Amino acid sequence: MSMLTRDEPRWSAFETTDWSEAEQYGSSVYFPHTIEPVGREDSSVDFHMESLEFEGVTLGRSSYGTAIRVEIGQLDRYHIVIPIRGSVRNVSGEQSFVATPDSGAIYNPSRSATTWRSKTSEHLAIKLDRVILERELSLILGRRLTAPIVFDMAVRRSTPGARRWLGGLSTLQEGLEDPRILIEQSLLAVELRNLLVLGLLLGQHHNYSGELAAASDRGARPGATRRAIRILEEAPRSPWTVGELAAESGSSVRALQDGFRRTVGMSPMQYLASVRLEHAHRTLREEHADSTTVAAVAHSWGFGHLSRFAAVYLERFGEHPSDTLRASHTP
C-alpha cells in the first residue's frame, strides 16, 4: 500500500493491493459500501483512486484492476458514475442501466445501489450535495420543493442536454490532474459546480422536468434584463447561477435568457463571461509578468480552459494574453 498526499487538504490519492483497504478508503471518500470479486476473475486487486472535494462536490477517478461487485448502503447525496473505459452495470430500486464511456448513471439519495464493474473499468464518480441541487431548482421554480428531486438513472450522450453536460466535465477531470486549478481558485470551483448543477437540472430528466419547462415560459417583470445586467457588472466575481440571477432580477430563467439575447445578443452566463474577460484584460495590463501568470489571472476570473481563454481573448482584444502581460510596465 502507498498513500500519496499533497499540501492541499481536500485532494488525495490512494493505491493498494489489499481488498479491505480499498473498501475502507472508497467508503471514506464516498459512501459506506462493500466490494468483492465476481466471476472467475483473479482475486487480486490493484486499486487506485484520486479524489478532490470542493464546494459541495466530491470528484474521484478510480480503478480496481479486476471485475468487482459493489454494494452501497442508503445514499444521502446524489452519486454520478461516468466510465472513462470499461463498463459499469448499475441497479438502484427499479432502475438499472449499463454505463459505458458514451453514457453515465445517476443514483438518487435515500436509496441503496449495486454496481458491477468490468475488469478494465475506470470511471469518474461525482458525489453532489442534494441541498445545492434543491436550492437552485427552487430558485428557478420560485417555490419550495415538496419532494426530493428524482432523476432518471440513465445519462445518454445521444440526448443534447446530456451530451453538453458530459462534455463539460473535462475541466473537472483536469482538476484531478492538477488540483491547484480548483483548490487555489475558489471562483472557478464554484462556477464548475454551478454548471454541473444546472446541466443536470436542465439536461437530465427528473420528476420536476415538466414544471421546470412550464416555469421557463413565464415572462419577466419589466426591467428585469436591465437589472440583471447591472447586477452582473457590479458583482462579476460572485458565483452567479442562472436561477439566482433570475430570482434576483424578478424573472423566469427562460424569460431572462430571451431578454439577454434580445438586448446583448448572448445568454446571461455568456454576458458574465464577457464582463469577466474585460476584467481579466485590465488585470493583465496592470500586473507585472514577474509577479503573476496568464493562467493565474484566467483562473482568478473563473476561466478554466486556458486554450479557450486565449482564443476568446485574442478574438476580443486582438492580441494574446501573454503579449498583454509582457507589455505591462514595459518602458
Q: How far apart are CA 253 and CA 217, in angstroms?
A: 8
Q: Is the pLDDT of residue 233 over 90?
A: yes
Whether 2-129 shares its CATH topology with 272-327 is answered no
Place 159 in a pLDDT band, splitting at 50, 70 and 90: confident
140 vs 319, residue with greater confidence: 319
Neighbour count for residue 11 (Cβ, 10 Å): 22
Chain segment 51-109, per-residue pLDDT in tens: 988 778 898 999 999 999 999 988 999 999 999 999 999 999 888 999 998 889 999 99
Handedness of CA 202, 76, 134, 214 (dihedral sign): positive
What is the pLDDT averaged over residues 123-143? Answer: 89
Q: Which residues contact 275 (CB under 8 A, 6 or more apart)?
A: 232, 233, 236
Reduced to 3 states (helix: H, G, I; strand: E, B; else coil), residue 166 is helix
Nearest residue to 273 (alpha-carbon basis) of 311, 322, 309: 309
Chain segment 284-305, per-residue pLDDT in tens: 998 888 889 998 899 889 887 7
Q: Is the pLDDT of residue 42 over 70?
A: no
Q: How far apart are CA 101 and CA 173, in angstroms?
A: 14
Res 61: pLDDT: 93
Tell whether domain 272-327 is in CATH 3.40.605.10.
no
Q: Where are the domains of the chain?
A: 2-129, 272-327
What is the pLDDT averaged over residues 19-46? Answer: 89
Res 39: pLDDT: 75
Res 215: pLDDT: 65
Place 41 in a pLDDT band, splitting at 50, 70 and 90: low
Q: Which residues contact 267 (CB under 8 A, 6 or more apart)?
A: 257, 260, 261
Res 2: pLDDT: 40
CATH number of 2-129: 2.60.120.10
Q: pLDDT > 90: what percent of the chain? A: 44
Q: How far apart are CA 201 and CA 206, in angstroms?
A: 8
Place 194 in a pLDDT band, splitting at 50, 70 and 90: confident
Burial of 10: CB neighbours in 10 Å, binned 0-12, 13-18, 19+? middle
Helices (H), the chain: 19-29, 130-141, 160-167, 170-177, 180-183, 186-203, 209-216, 224-234, 242-249, 253-264, 268-286, 294-300, 306-317, 321-327
Nearest residue to 104 (alpha-carbon basis) of 121, 129, 127, 87: 87
Query: What is the DSSP secondary structure assignment for residue 219, as one 8-state letter?
Result: P
Res 11: pLDDT: 82
Q: Enumerate the β-bridge partners of residue 53.
A: 58
Grid cell, residue 222, equals 419589466
Place 222 in a pLDDT band, splitting at 50, 70 and 90: low
Chain segment 243-300, per-residue pLDDT in tens: 889 888 888 887 888 888 888 888 898 899 999 999 999 999 988 888 899 988 998 8
Neighbour count for residue 217 (Cβ, 10 Å): 11
